[in-house]
């Protein structure tokens, strides 16, 4: 195959590759939504993933001018389109690997596994990234009516934010430099030390996250209960923001194993609460939050304690006391 023939085929198929890359990105994100409770793509993915096709010059250089013995360069080059997912921790990488490896939309091969490389060369600290090649399981048409042929490949890279920073700094300058160019040993040593530090920091971060998750388990379970009860009794799903964390932390001691039962009994005994929440939700942000039900429960059962521990402004609490027919505590 000549360079001209290579480019002619590439130009004819590039749109199909682009469509496949976009499909892969969207499918992975959709599968993450389905497999991770309360998944927030903007929080989980630290850099917006966008599929990118190689430029003509990059492809020609790789296919014909890098001393790589490709039997069929067009078929053998499997990163003509690629998409990169950047996450915070190495434990997050495993979540993406899980959805990739269980999907029936493609066949996948793990072409680079930094964990396996670390086990093989434990004393070496070098470029780290997880690379898959995903090939379409069947020929199909995308939603934009672009045909994707079976076995069309897309490379997927998965990195942590720290691994990505290291790669951006070193990959072209150190690991993919031109043949014959030299890099000072001191630079190589500095790069290796930086990767060693990245590994250590990732371990510390994972340990810290595990401890934080353990410490906030009660609040997260309570939030799930509040959201479920809200949906069941108000009739639509609530919105959730950081104010819920403040309220739940303030009343952590009052959230027992019977929280769901207490909430349900309150809403059954006083059906006007659901009516008030439902009626105000469209125009009042506070009444779209799951914690509003906990505020009613606490104000009804322990009004003085609620006033004393309330973490937000008094204005959030006043309508709740009014609805319950309770005097607003003077100390607020």
332 pLDDT above the threshold of 50: no
- Does residue 129 form part of some domain? yes
Per-residue pLDDT, 36: 93
* Cβ atoms within 10 Å, residue 94: 13
Per-residue pLDDT, 274: 96
In the numeric block, which tokens belong to residue 139?
């020929």
- Name the residue among 300, 219, 215 with its Cα closest to residue 262: 300
Average the pLDDT over each of 11-25, 58-72, 92-106, 208-222 and give the range with the smallest value: 58-72
Give the percent of the chain with pLDDT over 90.
Answer: 62
Per-residue pLDDT, 114: 56
148 close to 136: Cβ distance less than 8 angstroms: yes
- Does residue 209 form part of some domain? yes
Q: Which domain holds residue 261?
A: 217-324
- CB-side neighbour CA atoms (13 Å) of 328: 11
Residues 6+ apart with CB under 8 A from 108: 100, 101, 132, 133, 134, 135
In the numeric block, which tokens belong to residue 198?
């990245």
* Same domain, residue pair 198 and 308: no
Give the model's confidence band at 37: pLDDT under 50 very low, under 70 low, under 90 confident, else very high: confident
Per-residue pLDDT, 127: 60
Per-residue pLDDT, 123: 44
Give the model's confidence band at 40: pLDDT under 50 very low, under 70 low, under 90 confident, else very high: very high
Q: In terms of residues, how long is the chain?
A: 332
Q: Are strands 106-112 and 147-148 parallel, antiparallel or unpaired?
A: unpaired
Average pLDDT score over residue span 299-308: 91
Helix and strand numbers (H, E) in the chain are: 15, 7
For the stretch 206-263, pLDDT in tens is 999 999 888 888 888 999 999 999 999 999 999 988 899 999 999 988 887 899 999 9
* Same domain, residue pair 193 and 230: no
Average pLDDT score over residue span 30-52: 94
Task: Give the C-alpha distances (Å, rounded to integers) separating 229 from 241, 267, 323.
Answer: 17, 9, 19
Average pLDDT score over residue span 116-133: 66
* Same domain, residue pair 232 and 171: no
Q: How far apart are CA 223 and CA 256, in angstroms?
A: 13
Q: What is the CATH number of the domain that holds 152?
A: 3.30.460.10
Average the pLDDT over each of 256-260, 278-282, 288-292 and give the range with the smallest value: 256-260
* Same domain, residue pair 290 and 159: no
- Of 213, 243, 277, the position where a domain reaches its end is 213
Per-residue pLDDT, 238: 94
- Does residue 181 form part of some domain? yes
* Predicted TM-score of the model (pTM): 0.74
Residue with tokens 């682009």: 18
- Of 159, 181, 213, the position where a domain reaches its end is 213
Average pLDDT score over residue span 76-85: 95
Average the pLDDT over each of 167-171, 253-257, 274-278, 295-299 and give the range with the smallest value: 167-171
Q: Are strands 52-53 and 106-112 parallel, antiparallel or unpaired?
A: unpaired
* Same domain, residue pair 245 and 102: no
Please indicate whether residue 183 or residue 137 has the higher confidence score (pLDDT): 137
154 close to 82: Cβ distance less than 8 angstroms: yes
- Does residue 330 form part of some domain? no
Contacts of 192-197 spanning 24+ positions with Cβ under 8 A: 192/124, 192/125, 192/126, 193/125, 194/166, 195/125, 195/126, 195/127, 195/128, 195/166, 196/125
Please indicate whether residue 255 or residue 12 has the higher confidence score (pLDDT): 12
Stretch (H or E) spanning 53:
strand 52-53
* Same domain, residue pair 245 and 135: no
- Name the residue among 227, 166, 246 with its Cα closest to residue 199: 166
* Same domain, residue pair 258 and 188: no
Please indicate whether residue 186 or residue 154 has the higher confidence score (pLDDT): 154
For the stretch 168-212, pLDDT in tens is 877 655 555 555 555 567 777 787 788 888 888 989 999 999 998
* Same domain, residue pair 260 and 194: no
Residues 6+ apart with CB under 8 A from 288: 238, 239, 281
Q: Mean pLDDT of all residues in the chain?
A: 88
Give the percent of the chain with pLDDT over 70.
Answer: 90
- Of 166, 190, 213, the position where a domain reaches its end is 213
Residues 6+ apart with CB under 8 A from 118: 128
As for how many domains the chain has, the answer is 2
DSSP annotation of 47: B
* Same domain, residue pair 40 and 173: yes
* Same domain, residue pair 91 and 222: no
């Amino acid at each position: 195959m000549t360079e001209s023939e290579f480019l002619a085929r590439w130009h004819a198929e590039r749109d199909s590759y682009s469509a496949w890359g976009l499909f892969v990105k969207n499918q992975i994100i959709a599968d993450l939504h389905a497999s991770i409770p309360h998944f927030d793509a903007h929080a989980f993915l630290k850099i917006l993933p966008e599929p990118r096709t190689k430029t003509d010059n990059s492809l020609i250089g790789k296919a014909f001018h890098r001393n790589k013995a490709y039997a069929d360069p067009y078929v053998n080059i499997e990163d003509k389109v690629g998409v990169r997912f950047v996450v915070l921790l190495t434990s997050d990488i495993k979540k993406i690997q899980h959805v990739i490896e269980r999907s029936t939309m493609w066949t996948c091969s793990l072409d680079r596994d930094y964990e396996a490389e670390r086990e093989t060369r434990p004393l070496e600290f070098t470029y780290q990234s997880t690379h898959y090649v995903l090939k379409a399981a069947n020929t199909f048409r995308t939603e934009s009516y672009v045909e994707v042929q079976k076995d069309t490949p897309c490379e997927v890279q998965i990195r942590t934010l720290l691994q990505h920073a290291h790669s951006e700094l070193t990959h072209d300058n150190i690991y993919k430099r031109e043949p014959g160019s030299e890099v000072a040993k001191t630079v190589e040593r500095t790069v290796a030390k930086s990767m060693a530090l990245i590994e250590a920091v990732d371990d510390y971060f994972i340990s810290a996250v595990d401890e934080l998750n353990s410490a906030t388990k009660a609040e997260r379970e309570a939030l799930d209960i509040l959201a479920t009860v809200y949906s069941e009794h108000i009739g639509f799903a609530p919105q959730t923001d950081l104010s819920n964390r403040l309220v739940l932390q303030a009343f952590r001691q009052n959230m027992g194993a019977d929280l769901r039962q207490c909430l349900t009994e309150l809403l059954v005994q006083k059906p006007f609460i659901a009516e008030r929440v439902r009626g105000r939700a469209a125009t009042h942000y506070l009444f779209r939050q799951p914690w509003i039900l906990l505020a009613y429960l606490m104000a009804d059962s322990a009004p003085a304690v609620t006033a004393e521990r309330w973490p937000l402004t008094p204005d959030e609490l006043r309508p709740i006391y009014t609805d319950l027919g309770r005097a607003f505590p003077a100390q607020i």
